[in-house]
């Protein structure tokens, strides 16, 4: 069977192919992307591919992995080409051509730096996950972060995205090149503003004039990104080779729903993202709040409770009627009242559509994958709702159950000696080791962990009581006993 690459592209007739890669070999790279995981390849690279296909332009992407070699190994021999399978009521395939190359920052730093400081590079997009920004619990750059500290010594090549981009911007400043526009595409509240502030804070440690230049010139729109993109598995590789008659090292699967809302500060010269479905708006915050609160909060809640209940995928958890009624109540009584949605959004319909997406039988999205990095995700998708509800004197009982489920999830990993995927793994496992099943004792340990919980929360009685109650209710799950979710 043919391997997917430029030489075999024309032989594929089962789906659309990126003709521009065959007809215009000189098309330039205009974007660098940091973090070429599945989400980026199913989302921003897909939008950019649509934009190039329909409207042209020198917008090929140089994709940069900060450390891992996997994507580069898989895609380099495929000339950056890969397939996307859209799995929903019908299945559709597409070959995406927008990635020109995949580089690895640790081993190919000079090439990466050359791309970042090239005059053709006008955008740098990022999907580096919450932890990649090295922020503290206030959302500002953590200058005590070990890796940031190392980068700031300037003696070695940068290992953080913030350090690398700040150095590249300094080089552009020194060479009179315009700053590139940075676009954060991670599930962080105010992602663009946080990234901009982090880069400026880093720049302050380097040079005063450069900092002023950056403050005047750095464009960093906030964005909301959405499309459920589970990790690739062998079943997908087999599906691609059967359906497209070509072998693809690393295909991507996602649902058909895809959304990208971008703050309307983008430079005029850009890929035609807005003409191929992205929304430009001045109110990203409203969309971001809606998505983090109505999709990501229920997602994480389902993940922690679902794993404790022994479910494997989001779809499986959504077959559990007790759990679904708990989630639905949580959304209606505690999440929806917590924020003002954008005028154009019908919140009830939006939320119901999300729950319907969770029930998509064609998508096998592992709860364990969503449960990763809880210490970074809770402060974005659950704790702000709790803070708002406390301020508004609204209920937080269901949200307390969600936080308690996270604590018990960590305990279960510890008890079973299973890996906990989280940058604060060792701190969290230490907390778990000290637990003794007494709700007040165990919750005091977790809530006192200031890397996750802000001082406002840890001093709040209502918050502690809600988590303690949730913990007591869910405790039987630790010993695999049942819990009646209709009474929670
Ligand atoms: C998920 C998200 O893994 C997770 O934490 O909640 O990746 C979710 O699938 C996306 O945000 C959907 O757009």
Closest CA relative to residue 371, chosen from 408, 339, 337, 325: 408
Question: Looking at the structure, do residues 189 and 258 belong to the same domain, yes or no?
Answer: yes
Task: Say yes or no to pLDDT of 486 above 90.
Answer: no
Average pLDDT, the chain: 97
**Residue 262: CATH number of its domain:** 3.40.50.720
Question: Looking at the structure, do residues 260 and 346 belong to the same domain, yes or no?
Answer: no
- Provide the percentage of residues in the chain whose pLDDT is more than 90: 95
Q: Is the CB of 227 under 6 A from ligand 1?
A: yes
Q: Whose CA is nearest to atom 6 of ligand 1?
A: 296
Asked if residue 13 belongs to a domain, the reply is: yes
Going by pLDDT thresholds of 50, 70 and 90, the confidence category of residue 480 is confident
Q: Is the CB of 187 under 6 A from ligand 1?
A: yes
Question: Looking at the structure, do residues 259 and 343 belong to the same domain, yes or no?
Answer: no
Question: Looking at the structure, do residues 217 and 312 belong to the same domain, yes or no?
Answer: no
Task: Say yes or no to pLDDT of 91 above 90.
Answer: yes
Q: Give the mutation target among 43, 47, 289, 299 for probing the ligand 1 site: most ligand atoms within 8 A of CB.
A: 299
Question: Looking at the structure, do residues 268 and 297 belong to the same domain, yes or no?
Answer: no
Strands 223-226 and 91-96: unpaired
Q: Whose CA is nearest to atom 5 of ligand 1?
A: 370
What's the Cα-to-Cα distance from 462 to each of 379, 396, 454, 457, 465, rounded to whole Å? 18, 8, 14, 9, 5
Asked if residue 162 belongs to a domain, the reply is: yes
Asked if residue 442 belongs to a domain, the reply is: yes
Question: Stretch 127-131: mean pLDDT, rounded?
Answer: 96
- Provide the percentage of residues in the chain whose pLDDT is more than 70: 100
Asked if residue 200 belongs to a domain, the reply is: yes
Question: Looking at the structure, do residues 330 and 446 belong to the same domain, yes or no?
Answer: yes
pLDDT of residue 120: 98
Asked if residue 102 belongs to a domain, the reply is: yes
Question: Looking at the structure, do residues 258 and 324 belong to the same domain, yes or no?
Answer: no
pLDDT in tens, 278-315: 999 998 999 999 999 999 999 999 999 999 999 999 99
Give the residue from 282, 307, 333 where a domain finishes. 282
The three-point CA angle 125-127-133 to 5° equals 100
Tell me which of 129-143, 267-281, 298-312 is least confident: 129-143
Asked if residue 82 belongs to a domain, the reply is: yes
pLDDT of residue 365: 97
Q: Give the mutation target among 44, 291, 293, 295 for probing the ligand 1 site: most ligand atoms within 8 A of CB.
A: 295
Give the residue from 282, 301, 317 where a domain finishes. 282
Give the residue from 259, 282, 305 where a domain finishes. 282
- Distance, CA 52 to ligand 1 centroid (Å)? 26
Q: Is the CB of 255 under 6 A from ligand 1?
A: no
Torsion of CA 425, 430, 433, 439, to 10 degrees: -90
Q: Is the CB of 296 under 6 A from ligand 1?
A: yes
Question: Looking at the structure, do residues 176 and 89 belong to the same domain, yes or no?
Answer: yes
Q: Is the CB of 181 under 6 A from ligand 1?
A: no
Q: Whose CA is nearest to atom 11 of ligand 1?
A: 226
Question: Looking at the structure, do residues 454 and 431 belong to the same domain, yes or no?
Answer: yes
Question: Looking at the structure, do residues 261 and 372 belong to the same domain, yes or no?
Answer: no
Q: Is the CB of 228 under 6 A from ligand 1?
A: yes
**Residue 309: CATH number of its domain:** 1.10.1040.10
Asked if residue 235 belongs to a domain, the reply is: yes
Asked if residue 1 belongs to a domain, the reply is: no
Query: Which H helix or E strand runs over 208?
Result: helix 208-217
Question: Looking at the structure, do residues 270 and 348 belong to the same domain, yes or no?
Answer: no
Number of domains into which the chain is organized: 2
Measured from the CA of 227, which atom of ligand 1 is nearest? 13
Task: Say yes or no to pLDDT of 138 above 90.
Answer: no
List the structure tokens of 392: 């508004």
pLDDT of residue 482: 86
- The pTM of this model reads 0.96
Q: Whose CA is nearest to atom 13 of ligand 1?
A: 226
pLDDT of residue 181: 98
- Distance, CA 45 to ligand 1 centroid (Å)? 17
CA atoms of 476 and 5, how far apart (whole Å): 53
pLDDT in tens, 366-408: 999 999 999 999 999 999 999 999 999 999 999 999 999 999 9
- Distance, CA 296 to ligand 1 centroid (Å)? 6
- Distance, CA 175 to ligand 1 centroid (Å)? 39
pLDDT of residue 456: 87
pLDDT in tens, 225-244: 999 999 999 999 999 999 99
Measured from the CA of 369, which atom of ligand 1 is nearest? 3
Question: Looking at the structure, do residues 323 and 268 belong to the same domain, yes or no?
Answer: no
- Distance, CA 228 to ligand 1 centroid (Å)? 6
Query: Which H helix or E strand runs over 125?
Result: strand 123-126
Domain boundaries, position 438? 285-487
Strands 279-281 and 259-263: parallel
């Amino acid at each position: 069977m043919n391997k997917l690459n430029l030489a075999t592209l024309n032989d594929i007739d089962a789906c659309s192919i990126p003709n521009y890669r065959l007809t215009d070999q000189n098309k330039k790279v205009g974007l660098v992307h940091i973090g070429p995981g599945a989400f980026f390849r199913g989302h921003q690279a897909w939008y950019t591919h649509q934009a190039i296909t329909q409207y042209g332009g020198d917008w090929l992407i140089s994709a940069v992995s900060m450390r891992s070699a996997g994507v580069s190994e898989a895609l380099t021999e495929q000339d950056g080409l890969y397939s996307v399978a859209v799995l929903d009521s019908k299945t559709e395939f597409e070959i995406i051509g927008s990635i020109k190359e995949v580089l690895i920052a640790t081993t190919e730093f000079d090439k990466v730096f050359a791309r970042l400081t090239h005059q053709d590079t006008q955008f740098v997009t990022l999907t580096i996950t919450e932890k990649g920004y090295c922020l503290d619990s206030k959302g500002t750059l953590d200058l005590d972060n070990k890796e940031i500290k190392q980068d700031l010594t300037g003696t070695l090549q940068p290992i953080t995205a913030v350090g690398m981009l700040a150095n590249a911007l300094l080089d552009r400043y020194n060479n009179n090149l315009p700053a590139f526009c940075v676009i954060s595409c991670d599930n962080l509240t105010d992602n663009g503003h946080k990234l901009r502030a982090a880069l400026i804070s880093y720049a302050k440690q380097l040079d005063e004039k450069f900092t002023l230049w950056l403050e005047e010139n750095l464009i960093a729109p906030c964005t909301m990104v959405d499309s459920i993109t589970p990790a690739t598995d062998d079943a997908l590789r087999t599906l691609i080779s059967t359906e497209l008659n070509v072998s693809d090292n690393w295909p991507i699967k996602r649902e058909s729903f895809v959304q990208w809302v971008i703050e309307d500060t983008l430079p005029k010269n850009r890929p035609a993202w807005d003409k191929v479905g992205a929304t430009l708006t001045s109110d990203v915050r409203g969309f971001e709040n809606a998505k983090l609160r109505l999709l990501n909060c229920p997602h994480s809640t389902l993940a922690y409770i679902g794993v404790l209940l022994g479910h494997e995928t989001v779809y499986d958890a959504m077959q559990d009627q007790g759990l679904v009624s708990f989630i639905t109540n949580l959304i209606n009584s505690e999440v929806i009242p917590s924020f003002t949605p954008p005028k154009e959004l019908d919140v009830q319909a939006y939320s119901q559509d999300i729950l319907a997406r969770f029930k998509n039988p064609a998508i096998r999205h592992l709860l364990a994958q969503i449960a990763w990095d809880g210490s970074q995700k809770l402060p974005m998708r659950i704790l702000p709702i709790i803070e708002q509800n406390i301020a508004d004197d609204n209920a937080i009982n269901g949200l307390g159950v969600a936080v308690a489920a996270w604590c018990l999830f960590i305990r279960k990993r510890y008890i079973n000696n299973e890996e906990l995927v989280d940058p604060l793994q060792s701190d969290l496992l230490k907390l778990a080791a000290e637990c003794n099943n007494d709700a007040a004792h165990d919750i005091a340990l977790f809530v006192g962990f200031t890397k996750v919980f802000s001082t406002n929360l840890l001093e709040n009685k209502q918050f502690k009581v809600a988590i303690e109650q949730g913990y007591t209710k869910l405790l039987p799950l630790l010993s695999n006993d049942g819990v009646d979710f209709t009474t929670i």
